[in-house]
Amino acid sequence: MTKTPELLLRIFPSSRREVATLVLLSGLAAACFTAVAGLSRIYYGQQEALAERWAGRGAADLKAGNFAAASTEFGTALLYSHDDFDSQLGLAKSLIGQGRIDEAYGYLVSLWSQKPENGTVNLELARIAAGRNDRQLALRYYHNAIYGIWMANPEASRRAARWELTKYLLSLRATANVQSELISLSADEGDDPAEQKNIGDYFLKVDDYQHALASYRISLRANERDVAALKGAGTAAFSMGNYVLAQRYLQQAVEAAPGDHDAETKLETASLALRMDPFRRQITQPQRDEAVRASFAAAGNRLQSCAAVASYPALLPATNPAGEPLGAAWKKLEPQIARGKGFHDADAVNQAMDLVFAIEREATSQCGAGTPADTALTLISKIHEGN
Amino acid sequence: MSSLSSSSSSSGSSGLSGSQVAAIAGGQVESEPAETSHAPRVSEFFREERFFLVLSVFIGVFAGLAVVCFRFAIEWCRIYLLGSGAQLSTIRLILTPTIAGLVIAILVIHFFPQARGSGVNQTKSALYIFNGYIPFKTAVGKFITSALAIGAGFSLGPEDPSLQIGACIASALGTRMKLSRERMRLLAPIGAAAGLAAAFNAPITAVLFVIEEVIGRWTAGILGSVVLSAISSVVVMRWFMGSESLFRIPPVELRHPSELVAYAVLGIIGGLFSVAFAGGLSVLRPRARHLARWTQYAQPAVAGLLIGVIGWLGAPQVMGAGYEYMDEAIHGRFTWQFLAILAGLKVIATLLSFVSGTPGGLFAPTLFIGAMLGAAVGGVEHALLPHLTASPATYALVGMGVLFAGFIRAPMTSVFMILEISGNYSIILPAVIANGAAYTISRALMPVAIFDILTRQDGLELPSMEEQREENVLRVEDAMRAPNVPVIEGDDTVEKALRTLEKAQQEIVLVRLKPSGWSSLSRAELREFIADNKAGQAVGSLLAFKQIPLLHPDMPLDMVLRYVDRWPVVPVVNRANLRKLDGIVTERDVLERYRDFSGE
């Protein structure tokens, strides 16, 4: 205590009066400071309470979809707590709800500059950028949101952000990017049957049948009678050319929920593809003979049905691999097939099936899609001709 | 409280001005050699200077604390009178300002008559008329009535009252310590700077404003104290209210120089708006004051009622200081049409508030109008020229400076205020261009600044800072003429000097002394030396203690007046070579120059 006056005396060596004045002023300043600190506590306590009250009302109105009221309430909360992050975010969301995107964007950018790692802010900014067709910015904000920090339920929020990004990418037809996001989602979702089924649907949309089938299978592990998963798995297998698997899943789907025309058509096509494919392994000779005959007959029917349309004559000049017109070639081979018994000679099978595939190809290009049998033959040709 | 009058008066008797102190500190004693008896006085002076600097810090602390309390009071008044919500009820909107106006009128008329007005002129009056004395009751009155007015929704700001409260606190401290009159005069601007710095949370702006508008000149003797008090008040302010600036400024950048034209347009429009605002104030205020005495009670209430109606009609943003809405304008949350309406309505609301005699400041309304006008002009320019890249924030910020330069007529403060608020040096060029345009237009259309008009309406004649700033200072070179008197060396004998003088047919000879210095001798003095048998002595040896103080061409002309009564011819010497004579100056030359300058 005695050191302070001594120090002051050293500064003002010749005036004890001045030292006394300074000590007195210091004491007065300390007393005033303490008094104002007390007032300050009361003031900020009140400001905090008001901010909380108005922010609470804003959050309730935002949840109820009363965006206009919510924006006023969040604005009022910000009067009392200028930098409150949640109120600013709430205000931005309520402005978005009112369609006042530019104003909301201003708030969000300001929030982003404070917390660039915040997941919610990045997601909102990504949505605005996507709405403005600013692809680069949208992707940047979406990725920030996925890898950002989320206050509540971070895993679910990140998955939701990734889902949103996936849908956005799908709208841009960026299939490769969608696939990679779906693979991440599939890994994130674990064994959740509903989510895996959903992921499977999205894999189908980007023609990634292998991953789609895997996702449906995970979903079916939880409920093997899930019709949508069965149909999805069947569709994926069908698209992959795995008709055995497709037939199995689609059969179960159709049995569980009859009347699904799409599933029934696919099931029929898959069954026909199995029945009419003579190149299948591990089938008996009679089954192979039957497959050749059925295919040949279907090709003949295709020729006849195509004759009904004006472009039929155009089919005539088309030739088989031997150089003959297709119709003539079919007629020439038809007696041999009809009486044929046991196509032990692989060349004979190939010759017959090459003609069948050529007819189907030509007929499809000139007369459009045919019966399920024709579709099945086209699918078989794709498998065996490497297309 | 101890008395400091003895030390102060002793310094007063020593007659040391700020510049002389600086000269002493720099070791540039050019006049008479210092007497040894002066040494203790100088040391006493320095001790007092040091104490004064410490006192400035205390003034800053007390002013900062007062301004913090003032801000709390305004906010509490707002919450309890108008309500805590952003949307105000009709009854409160109409009744609160009306009843508050009535209460304020009673307080101002019966208890605090000095609290009327913004506070800037009152502080200047204290400085120039009342020797720095402001009754402490004025601070109390200003605090209560301004907080009530602003909190109740009158379109006024807290800055000018804070400035006056700071000056009042400084004056009260000085009075209790019985400081000398000279020191008391210095205290008012020191307290004013502290109050304004705390209110603005911007010390540089406050210091510049006080220098530009209250003191009027850069005075080294007071600058240190002003800066110290401003900084200490801001430190206190930030301790309690945080370090964030008044507005949250988004990044500002100027991408293309052609955009400066857009800011020049803003400056022109802002200049015209400033003239309209200041013109309205200068015309309406005396009319309102000359109405019957009983109307003085009703005027604030009527003003409050009309402001409440404006708020009720859909523009509550114009009520109070309006910082939150300036912030919203900066962040582009209003359409340009609404911004323009708000700027116009704010002018009306401020005219009503101020003209009715309600205490409160004009700074915040000026900034509000500027921000709205700037953002509106920016919006229109963007609509017409979509390639412009500047954001609403830039236009709003520059708009604030524009109105400050055009209305308050403090061009330098306006530029630095924008810099300090935005913290971005990219804005300096747009601010200088726009503020310069606004200031020029305002000056051309309205030759007298608004604060000077208000002062004259109050029957006072205070120095116009604007006129002082632009006043031409006469220098020695303006009165100096070519040397037409003979010059001899200090080594020359008295006899030779007399011969030279007689040959030149002059009465005075200048003597160049060694190693430096000048003196002069008259014919009578030379003859006196000869009569004393000193004809063969060197004149230099006889003039050792009779040197003429050195004058240089760039020195103020009034410096010459200090010497011409003792030295009929004063040499003007070159700064680089003190032995080289640039010219001479006589009393007659000086008086003729002053006569020519005053247009006689």
User: Do A269 and A309 lie in a common domain?
Assistant: no
Q: Do A79 and B324 touch (CB under 8 A)?
A: yes
Cβ neighbours around A12 below 10 Å, total: 18
Q: Is residue A224 part of a domain?
A: yes
User: Do B164 and B237 lie in a common domain?
Assistant: yes
CATH classification at residue B314? 1.10.3080.10
Total of domains in chain A = 2
Q: Is B118 helix (H, G, I), strand (E, B) or coil?
A: coil
CB-nearest to A24 from B1, B3, B61 is B1
Q: Is residue B407 part of a domain?
A: yes
User: Do A269 and A295 lie in a common domain?
Assistant: no
What range does the domain containing A204 cover? 173-273
User: Higher-confidence residue: B470 or A134?
Assistant: A134
Domain boundary among A243, A273, A303: A273
Q: Do A50 and B84 touch (CB under 8 A)?
A: yes
CATH classification at residue B482? 3.10.580.10
- State how far the Cα of A246 lies from the Cα of A264, in Å rounded to an integer: 11
DSSP lists the bridge partners of residue B511 as: B488, B519
User: What tokens were used for B134?
Assistant: 């402001």
Domain boundary among B409, B432, B462: B462
Q: Is residue A19 part of a domain?
A: no
Q: Is residue A143 part of a domain?
A: no
Q: Is residue B469 part of a domain?
A: no
Q: Do B87 and A72 touch (CB under 8 A)?
A: yes
Q: Please tell me the distance in Å from B334's CA to the nearest CA on chain A.
A: 9
Q: Is residue B24 part of a domain?
A: yes
Per-residue three-class SS string for B139-199: HHHHHHHHHHHHHHCCCCECHHHHHHHHHHHHHHHHHHCCCCHHHHHHHHHHHHHHHHHHH
What range does the domain containing B361 cover? 259-462
Q: Is residue B254 part of a domain?
A: no
Nearby residues of B590 by Cβ (< 8 Å), 6 or more positions away: B479, B557, B560, B561, B564
Domain boundary among B181, B208, B241: B241
User: Do A267 and A306 lie in a common domain?
Assistant: no
Q: Is residue B470 part of a domain?
A: no
User: Do B487 and B442 lie in a common domain?
Assistant: no
Q: Is residue B86 part of a domain?
A: yes
Q: Phi/psi zone of residue A81: left (φ > 0), alpha (ψ -120 to 50 degrees), beta? A: beta
User: Do B297 and B232 lie in a common domain?
Assistant: no
Q: Is residue A135 part of a domain?
A: no
Q: Where are the alpha helices (DSSP H) in A241-371?
A: 243-256, 261-276, 285-307, 312-315, 326-339, 346-367
Q: Please tell me the distance in Å from A118's CA to the nearest CA on chain B.
A: 19
pLDDT, residue B120, reads 86
User: Do B448 and B515 lie in a common domain?
Assistant: no
Q: Do A29 and B61 touch (CB under 8 A)?
A: yes
CB B236 within 8 A of CB A30: no
User: Do B112 and B188 lie in a common domain?
Assistant: yes
User: Do B585 and B545 lie in a common domain?
Assistant: yes
Q: Please tell me the distance in Å from B232's CA to the nearest CA on chain A.
A: 12
Per-residue three-class SS string for A118-186: EHHHHHHHHHHHHHCCCHHHHHHHHHHHHHCECCCCHHHHHHHHHHHHHHHHHHCCCHHHHHHHHHHHH
pLDDT, residue B110, reads 93
Total of domains in chain B = 3
Is residue A42 over pLDDT 80?
yes
Judging contacts by C-beta atoms under 8 Å, the chain B residues touching residue A11 are 50
Q: Do A24 and B76 touch (CB under 8 A)?
A: no
User: Do B447 and B487 lie in a common domain?
Assistant: no
Q: Do A29 and B4 touch (CB under 8 A)?
A: no
Element spanning B520, H or E: strand B518-522
**A149-176 tens-digit pLDDT:** 998 888 889 989 999 999 999 998 888 8
pTM confidence score? 0.71
Chain B residues 1-30 with a CB less than 8 Å from chain A: 1-4, 7
Decide if B235 touches A, using CB distance below 8 A.
no
User: Do A249 and A337 lie in a common domain?
Assistant: no
pLDDT, residue B549, reads 87
User: Do B31 and B105 lie in a common domain?
Assistant: yes
Helix count and strand count (H, E) for chain A: 19, 0
Q: Do B324 and A14 touch (CB under 8 A)?
A: no
Q: Is residue A101 part of a domain?
A: no
User: Higher-confidence residue: A124 or B117?
Assistant: A124
User: Do A197 and A230 lie in a common domain?
Assistant: yes
Q: Do B4 and A17 touch (CB under 8 A)?
A: yes
Q: At what angle do helices B363-384 and B260-289 cross, to 10 degrees?
A: 140
Closest CA in chain B for residue A42: B72
Q: Do A22 and B3 touch (CB under 8 A)?
A: no
The pLDDT-based confidence of A319 (bands split at 50, 70, 90) is low
User: Do B299 and B359 lie in a common domain?
Assistant: yes
Q: Is residue A191 part of a domain?
A: yes
User: Do A293 and A370 lie in a common domain?
Assistant: yes
Q: Is residue B324 part of a domain?
A: yes
User: Do A262 and A291 lie in a common domain?
Assistant: no
Domain boundary among A225, A246, A273: A273
Per-residue pLDDT of chain B (600 residues; tens, 9 = 90+): 444 443 333 333 333 333 333 333 333 333 333 334 444 455 555 566 778 889 999 999 999 999 999 999 999 999 999 998 877 888 999 999 999 999 999 999 999 988 888 888 888 888 888 888 889 999 999 999 999 999 999 999 999 999 999 999 999 999 888 888 888 888 888 999 999 999 988 899 999 998 888 877 666 668 889 999 999 999 999 999 887 777 767 666 666 777 888 899 999 999 999 999 999 999 999 999 899 888 999 999 999 999 999 999 989 999 999 988 898 888 777 888 999 999 999 999 999 999 999 999 999 999 999 999 999 998 888 888 877 767 778 899 999 999 999 999 988 899 998 888 877 777 888 999 999 999 999 999 999 999 889 988 888 888 777 777 667 778 999 899 998 889 999 889 998 988 888 888 888 889 998 877 899 888 888 888 888 888 888 888 887 667 888 899 999 888 888 888 888 899 999 988 888 899 999 988 888 888 887 655
Q: Is residue B347 part of a domain?
A: yes
Judging contacts by C-beta atoms under 8 Å, the chain A residues touching residue B331 are 103, 106-107, 110
Q: Return the residue matching tokens 């120095």.
A: B463
User: Do B266 and B226 lie in a common domain?
Assistant: no
Domain boundary among A223, A246, A273: A273
User: Higher-confidence residue: A247 or B32?
Assistant: A247
The pLDDT-based confidence of A313 (bands split at 50, 70, 90) is low
CATH classification at residue A234? 1.25.40.10
Domain boundary among B175, B207, B241: B241
